[in-house]
Chains A and B, each alone.
Chain A
Amino acid sequence: MHKIWLIIQREYLTRVRKKSFIIMTFLTPLLLAAFMVIPAWLATISDSEDVVMVLDESGLFADKLESKEDLKIIPIAAGSLEQAKTAYQETDYTALLHIPKLDLDNPEGIRLYSKKNTSLQVKFRLENMLEKEIESQRFMASGIDREMLNKMKANVTMTTVNLSESGERDSNVWVTSGAGIIGAVIIYFFIFLYGVQIMRGVIEEKTNRIVEVMISSVKPFQLMMGKIVGIAGVGLTQFLLWVVLSTIVVGGVQAAFDIKPAPTPIEQMQAGRDLATGEESAQTQEESQANMLSEVSSAISNLNFPLLLGCFLFYFLGGYLLYGSLFGAIGAAVDNETDTQQFMFPITIPLIISFIMSYTVVIQNPDGPVAFWMSIIPFTSPIVMMVRIPFGVPASELLLSMGLLILGFIFTTWIASRIYRVGILMYGKKINYKELSKWLFYRV
């Protein structure tokens, strides 16, 4: 035990003191902060006022197109299109909107002239204004006025509620899936990044030829487990430092620049929808956004954090250990990194499949058969189960999955240690699967 501890220490310390580790650890939160600040900063830049000149030859929209806070409308009293164009050329306005004489039933020929490409947003907003005006004129023509129409409009926001034994809880599909996906993504990358580090470490020991010196002092199994556990420590350290540093950096940036975080996907969705439904519902938009935010935060606070975090740590470590020992075995079986491809393939396939499935099939149907089986089988469960947990998973399924993961880990470690003890002393031999399977039953 003492020797394993020494090995763990060495693996951990040499990696944590590496320049690349220190740089990565401090750079990532800074990049995160940059990702947060730069879009917000860009957003403030593009919020400059758009000015649109309008030449309305139809006379239908006179005074009806109103200036908005960031979209100013300047009507041109009269004149030809050519005159308007010349006038526009002399200004630095955003665009020139030309509305020819229109047939209300078939409004065609409206053009937007600009010096640069106009932003989609300006185009959408103008289109919206015109559409709405044309609509109300049509309503008028058929005897319905705007106010009556507004009374008839309905606005529905649905609140999703989880019914469980512990009572009703507001839930939010976005929050629930988000929590699971984030956990799954972290586990996926952790397994890959640090699994490959185990493999590299083993190859390094082999090519350095230190391995025989080592195993004349310690058992191959101790050497392998020491490396796997030591690197797990490195990963956890990096992860925790990222969480802490990111919180500090992001908090600091927010305080210093007083910037709202860049819009989350939810807000972006919302914004997109608002754009489509138009300007007139600004009030309702704000309202619904407020609703949404309170709904999100209540959904977040309703997530079962202790369970989520506990499961995350379990699957994080379980998945890493399961795959880590296999990566170690690959490192032992080959002489250099270029030979790893053929053995990496069968290991990466279940990881990639479970990653892809988790944000497609699993998230759409977290209780379906695919999600169920993938969250039970140890090779896919660390990623898939993380996605399912926020939606609620029966305790029996969770325990089955965890138990199988532990068994799976013991199984892969057994296989890996058999391959490892033979492989680390084998040089200059191209290994294939047949050879590997023989190693499992070698008497050493």
Chain B
Amino acid sequence: MSILKIDGVTKRYANHTALDNVSFDIPAGCIFGLLGPNGAGKTSLIRIITQITGADSGEIYFKGEKLRPSHIKDMGYLPEERGLYKKMKVGEQLLYLAQLKGLTKDEATARIKEWVVRFEIKEWMNKHIEDLSKGMQQKVQFMATVMHEPSLIILDEPFSGFDPINANLIKDEILRLRDNGATIIFSTHRMESVEELCDNIALINRSRKVLDGPVREIKDTYKTDTYQVIGNGQLLITSPDFEVLEQHDNHGVFRASIRLLDGASPNDLLRYLIQRVEVHSFVELVPSINDIFIRKVKETYHA
């Protein structure tokens, strides 16, 4: 079941098109990567989902219903451009933002207490935001985004500016939220940063969707049946079933990228190698999302 269905969304600004007939589904309960270079249209799409702006044409369905203002309180949005009221105290700020999301004062207070324990920030509650370190501010910001327990959480460039420790903390929180049933949309241009987190992705380039689907399927589609082998011995492949793409020899140690041709299986290659050399490592070379993206973009240009 999809929590969000984007159907032919187009958005034009005065002198450029931000989104051109973009359609894809976001399954419920997954971590979804909305990927693409800067200026591809990611933020425009997110602003349409969060109803900050409207689409020129096309529809978006949230949990099967056409998007409407009441859906806002079931979404949490961490914009790329983020900030807090510097002169407000942490506790007041969280209470205020949670109430704006429709929580009552009592609910909000209770939730804040939970999070304060989880993030161990009790002693900050009466500090002004401007007195906090940047990492602390980001934790507060993240809390404010998910405080109202939305079923859809949208994070725009979530790890930009996070130090590694806090980034890991946030990653753990995101996984926990996903396990509790929330759907998370990651929007980023740094594709490698979310590759291991995402279940599904959509690639956007120049206001068009390039491809979308489960990460595993995409990788299967784009894998090239290439294996990297490292071992001892003199490797000389003469079989017509395999093609050596790259080979380095160094004091009897070799490293080679070998492609299977015409229905040969990995085991065929392994058997062939074992008879001739000593194999230390045998790994499939899976294309990264980044590689796939670049390939896909090249294809669309040449087409």
Which A residues form the contact surface with B (CB < 8 A)?
3, 6-7, 10, 14, 18, 205, 208-210, 212-218, 425, 427, 438, 442-444
8 contacts between A and B (CB under 8 A): A7-B100, A10-B96, A14-B87, A208-B84, A213-B97, A217-B72, A217-B101, A425-B47
Which of the residues B81, B88, B99, B100 comes within 8 Å of A212, measured between beta carbons?
A: B81
| Complexed CA–CA distance, A320 and B96 (Å) | 27
* Residue B127 interfacial (CB < 8 Å): no
Residues of B within 8 A of A218 (CB): 100
B53 contacts A208, C-beta separation under 8 Å? no
What residue of chain B has the Cβ atom nearest to residue A7's Cβ? B100
Residues of A within 8 A of B54 (CB): 443-444
Q: Mark B71-83, 1 if CB is under 8 A from A, else 0.
A: 0110101110111
| Complexed CA–CA distance, A14 and B86 (Å) | 11
For chain B residues 2-50, which have a beta carbon within 8 Å of chain A? 14, 47, 50
For chain B residues 52-85, which have a beta carbon within 8 Å of chain A? 52-54, 56, 72-73, 75, 77-79, 81-85
What residue of chain A has the Cβ atom nearest to residue B76's Cβ? A216
Residues of A within 8 A of B97 (CB): 213, 217
Q: Which of B52, B82, B84, B86 has the most chain A CB atoms inside 10 A of its CB?
A: B52
B83 contacts A216, C-beta separation under 8 Å? no
**Chain B contact residue count (CB 8 A cutoff):** 28
Which B residues form the contact surface with A (CB < 8 A)?
14, 47, 50, 52-54, 56, 72-73, 75, 77-79, 81-88, 96-97, 99-101, 141, 144
Q: How far is the CB of A425 from chain B (nearest CB, A)?
A: 7
| Complexed CA–CA distance, A213 and B50 (Å) | 10
Which of the residues B14, B83, B87 comes within 8 Å of A213, measured between beta carbons?
A: B83
A6 contacts B84, C-beta separation under 8 Å? no
Residues of A within 8 A of B88 (CB): 14
A212 contacts B79, C-beta separation under 8 Å? yes
B83 contacts A208, C-beta separation under 8 Å? yes
| Complexed CA–CA distance, A84 and B241 (Å) | 136
Q: Which of A205, A213, A438, A444 has the most chain B CB atoms inside 10 A of its CB?
A: A213
Which 6 pairs, one residue from A and one from B, show the smallest C-beta to C-beta distance? A209-B83, A212-B79, A208-B83, A216-B77, A217-B100, A210-B83
| Complexed CA–CA distance, A69 and B77 (Å) | 82
With A14-B87, A217-B100, A438-B14 as given contacts, are A209 and B53 in contact (CB-CB < 8 Å)?
no
Residues of B within 8 A of A212 (CB): 52, 77, 79, 81-82
Residues of B within 8 A of A427 (CB): 81
What residue of chain A has the Cβ atom nearest to residue B77's Cβ? A216
Known: A10-B96, A216-B75. 12 other contacts (CB 8 A): A6-B99, A6-B100, A14-B87, A18-B87, A210-B84, A213-B82, A213-B83, A216-B77, A216-B79, A217-B72, A217-B73, A427-B81
Residues of A within 8 A of B47 (CB): 425
A213 contacts B79, C-beta separation under 8 Å? yes
Residues of A within 8 A of B81 (CB): 209, 212, 427
Residues of A within 8 A of B52 (CB): 212, 215-216, 425
Q: How far is the CB of B164 from chain A (nearest CB, A)?
A: 23
| Complexed CA–CA distance, A208 and B141 (Å) | 13
What residue of chain B has the Cβ atom nearest to residue A10's Cβ? B96
Q: How far is the CB of B298 from chain A (nearest CB, A)?
A: 31
Q: How far is the CB of B269 from chain A (nearest CB, A)?
A: 52
| Complexed CA–CA distance, A205 and B84 (Å) | 8
B77 contacts A213, C-beta separation under 8 Å? yes
| Complexed CA–CA distance, A59 and B56 (Å) | 103
| Complexed CA–CA distance, A3 and B73 (Å) | 12
Residues of B within 8 A of A10 (CB): 96
Q: How far is the CB of B39 from chain A (nearest CB, A)?
A: 14
| Complexed CA–CA distance, A443 and B56 (Å) | 8
